[in-house]
């Protein structure tokens, strides 16, 4: 067990905002938080080691509540397309992955996140056949992870009636419930034999991409294993159109009728829902994950954050894929979430406050990991997932040091040290959890191999793209006009 360690003198994020304090970490947990001089003196007496942290903010580690681990290797690939066309490329690349590639992707993403003050991440993972490699890599990163294993049996291009070139079609086979259930149990067993930092969730790709048989399997596995569920929901206008076809009142009403809406469910995006559908989610305490950078990059739309806030919905924040949202930068994500609701209303009293946004990136993210009340807050008894961020960095030095200053000016560059489960994974900007230089070298080699393996199919898809774009637009009259 780690010796009692005191992080002393930082501006600590708590119920009353940022205040100078001391945080005593014993083993994996926060043992005590001291605010007054007396309390902090007492903590110093209990500590075997003290880390002076003046000129720092101390926050619960940021939680990236929606992302796809494999995609970190796809930085720089096609992302100037709407989701339905973009997906053809990411699927094409995805088919070329092997265990080495998934491992390289997970570790590269972890290096970026640790440097950005992130301690927890959801990996919504399509490549369930490579789960062992992904889970082993996640263990090595030192981060806290929710690995959400994909479940789906309907492709977007089938839903949209798009005909793909045979070499890139790669349609999905119907789900085999017993084979999937056995595989899911295997993946769970692997994770449960690990450190406890890496958990498994069920990750239906999206409800419209799952057949009625897959919905039944979803419910069965959720209840059998008591796992959280993570999915995409109504990310694009096309999905909203498709959703209307599933049941007389649409997709979300069908999900409610089927018993799929519950408080262990997290829905990424939630852009194209009606008010009634948003109310249905709120009624069942479904968490919604806002991915503003990804939504803007793919032209998907802007999530109505104010509406979700009014309904009392728990909203968390995510960076999504590296080949959609770009950086896995939760500071950028927080700033976008802060700014976007300002468009369209000059009633500044209704704009979200920085404190709320920071809560979305920490405490609310913990809900998505299934760890509400365990991480995402700095309080005695919580697991010690923490990040120290410099207040005196060239980008952060300012007149005030409150939450507003933190969200407006914080950045990965100002993150100094990161702790997960009471262990430093980065100290004074040096990653300790793994050999970062080796990770970068390996990722570069794997990217080159992936590029080579996918070159021919990518050229075919490039050639077919104009026709596919036309067919996509024809399915959705008015799509391009709005
Ligand atoms: Zn996603």
**Ligand 1 centre from 185 Cα, in Å?**
23
**Ligand 1 centre from 94 Cα, in Å?**
14
* Cα–Cα dist 191/179, whole Å: 19
Q: Is residue 32 part of a domain?
A: yes
Does the pLDDT of residue 476 top 80, yes or no?
Answer: no
Rounded to an integer, the average pLDDT of 198-218 is: 97
Percent of the chain with pLDDT over 70: 98
Question: In Å, what is the CA distance from 166 to each residue of 61, 152, 162, 163?
Answer: 45, 21, 12, 9
Q: Could you read off the pLDDT of 212-255 as tens digits, one per residue?
A: 999 999 999 999 999 999 999 999 988 888 888 888 899 999 99
Q: Is residue 414 part of a domain?
A: no
**Ligand 1 centre from 293 Cα, in Å?**
11
**Ligand 1 centre from 207 Cα, in Å?**
13
Convert 393-405 to b/e letters by CB count within 10 Å (16 or more is b): beebeeeebebbb
**Ligand 1 centre from 12 Cα, in Å?**
32
Residues in contact with 100: Cβ distance below 8 Å, sequence separation at least 6, in sequence order? 133, 446
**Ligand 1 centre from 318 Cα, in Å?**
9
Where does a domain end: 375, 405, 421?
A: 375
- Report residue 128 as tokens: 């369930």
DSSP codes joined into one string, 414-462: GEEEEEETTEEEEETTEE-SS-HHHHHHHHHHHHHHHHHHHHHHHHHHH
pLDDT band at 31 (very low <50, low <70, confident <90, very high): very high
**Ligand 1 centre from 149 Cα, in Å?**
13
Q: What are phi and psi of 307, to 5 degrees?
A: -65, -45
Where does a domain end: 375, 405, 423?
A: 375
Residue written as tokens 């014993």?
26
Residues 21 and 110 in one domain: no
Give kind and range of the element (H or E) at residue 198.
Answer: strand 198-204
**Ligand 1 centre from 324 Cα, in Å?**
9
Residues 28 and 118 in one domain: no
**Ligand 1 centre from 107 Cα, in Å?**
19
Residues 79 and 148 in one domain: yes
Residues in contact with 349: Cβ distance below 8 Å, sequence separation at least 6, in sequence order? none
**Ligand 1 centre from 209 Cα, in Å?**
13
Q: Are 73 and 104 in contact (CB under 8 A)?
A: yes
Q: Strand, helix or coil at 83?
A: helix
Residues 267 and 125 in one domain: yes
Q: What are phi and psi of 3, to 5 degrees?
A: -70, 150
**Ligand 1 centre from 331 Cα, in Å?**
18
Q: Which residue has the higher pLDDT, 168 or 414?
A: 414
Residues 150 and 254 in one domain: yes
Residue 343 per-residue DSSP state: T
Residues 40 and 182 in one domain: no
**Ligand 1 centre from 252 Cα, in Å?**
18
Does the pLDDT of residue 168 top 80, yes or no?
Answer: no
Residues 39 and 70 in one domain: no
Q: What are phi and psi of 317, to 5 degrees?
A: -125, 145
Q: Which of 291, 212, 290, 288 is nearest to 255 (CA)?
A: 212
Q: Are 187 and 131 in contact (CB under 8 A)?
A: yes
Domain tally for the chain?
2
**Ligand 1 centre from 279 Cα, in Å?**
22
Residues 227 and 321 in one domain: yes
Q: Are 255 and 234 in contact (CB under 8 A)?
A: no
Q: What are phi and psi of 397, to 5 degrees?
A: -55, 125
pLDDT attached to residue 440: 98
Q: Is residue 150 part of a domain?
A: yes
Residues 205 and 333 in one domain: yes
Q: Is residue 385 part of a domain?
A: no
pLDDT attached to residue 172: 83
Range of the domain at 33: 5-54
Q: Is residue 297 part of a domain?
A: yes
Where does a domain end: 340, 375, 410?
A: 375
Q: Is residue 171 part of a domain?
A: yes
Residue written as tokens 């959801």?
122
CATH number for the domain including 150? 3.20.20.140
Q: Are 228 and 265 in contact (CB under 8 A)?
A: yes
Kindly report the pTM of this predicted structure: 0.97
* Cα–Cα dist 164/157, whole Å: 8
Q: Is residue 413 part of a domain?
A: no
Residues 231 and 351 in one domain: yes
**Ligand 1 centre from 373 Cα, in Å?**
25
Q: What are phi and psi of 161, to 5 degrees?
A: 65, 35
Q: Is residue 457 part of a domain?
A: no
**Ligand 1 centre from 363 Cα, in Å?**
21
Residues 151 and 9 in one domain: no
Residues 44 and 65 in one domain: no
pLDDT band at 481 (very low <50, low <70, confident <90, very high): very low
pLDDT band at 169 (very low <50, low <70, confident <90, very high): low
Rounded to an integer, the average pLDDT of 362-374 is: 98
What is the overall mean pLDDT for the chain?
Answer: 95
């Amino acid at each position: 067990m780690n010796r009692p360690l005191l992080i002393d003198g930082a501006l600590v994020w708590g119920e009353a905002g940022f205040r100078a304090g001391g945080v005593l970490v014993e083993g994996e947990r926060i043992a005590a938080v001291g605010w007054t001089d007396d309390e902090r003196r007492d903590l110093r007496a209990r500590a075997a080691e003290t880390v002076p942290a003046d000129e720092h903010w101390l926050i619960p580690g940021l939680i990236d509540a929606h992302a796809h681990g494999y995609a970190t290797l796809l930085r720089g690939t096609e992302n100037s397309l709407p989701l339905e066309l973009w997906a053809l490329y990411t699927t094409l690349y995805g088919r070329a992955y092997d265990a080495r590639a998934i491992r390289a992707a997970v570790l590269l993403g972890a290096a970026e996140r640790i440097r950005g003050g992130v301690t927890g991440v959801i990996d919504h993972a399509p490549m369930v056949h490579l789960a062992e490699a992904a889970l082993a890599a996640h263990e090595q990163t030192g981060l806290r992870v929710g690995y959400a294993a994909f479940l789906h049996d309907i492709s977007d291009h089938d839903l949209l009636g798009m005909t793909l070139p045979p070499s890139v079609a790669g349609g999905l086979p119907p789900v085999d419930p017993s084979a999937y259930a056995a595989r899911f149990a295997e993946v769970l067993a692997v994770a449960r034999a690990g450190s406890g930092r890496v958990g498994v969730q069920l990750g239906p790709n999206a409800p419209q991409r799952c057949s009625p048989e897959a919905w039944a399997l979803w419910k069965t596995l959720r209840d059998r294993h008591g796992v959280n569920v993570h999915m995409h929901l109504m990310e694009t206008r096309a999905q909203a159109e498709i959703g209307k076809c599933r049941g007389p009142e649409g997709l979300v009403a069908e999900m409610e009728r089927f018993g799929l809406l519950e408080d262990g469910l997290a829905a990424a995006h939630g852009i194209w829902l009606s008010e009634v559908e948003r109310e249905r989610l709120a009624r069942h305490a479904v968490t919604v994950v806002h991915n503003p950078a990804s939504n803007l990059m793919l032209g998907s739309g802007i999530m109505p954050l104010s509406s979700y806030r009014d309904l009392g919905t728990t909203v968390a924040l995510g960076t999504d894929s590296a080949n959609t949202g770009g950086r896995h930068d939760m500071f950028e994500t927080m700033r976008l979430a802060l700014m976007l609701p300002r468009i369209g209303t000059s009633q500044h009293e209704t704009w979200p406050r920085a404190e709320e946004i920071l809560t979305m990136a920490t405490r609310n993210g913990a809900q998505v990991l299934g760890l509400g009340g365990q991480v995402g807050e700095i309080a005695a008894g919580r697991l010690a997932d923490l990040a120290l961020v410099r207040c005196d960095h060239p980008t952060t030095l300012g007149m005030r040091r409150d939450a507003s200053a933190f969200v407006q000016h914080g950045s990965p560059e100002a993150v100094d040290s990161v702790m997960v489960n009471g262990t430093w994974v980065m100290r004074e900007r040096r990653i300790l959890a793994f050999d970062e230089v080796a990770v970068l070298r390996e990722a570069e080699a794997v990217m080159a191999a992936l590029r080579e393996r996918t070159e021919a199919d990518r050229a075919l898809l490039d050639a077919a793209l104009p026709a596919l774009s036309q067919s996509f637009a024809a399915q959705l009259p008015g799509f391009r006009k709005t």
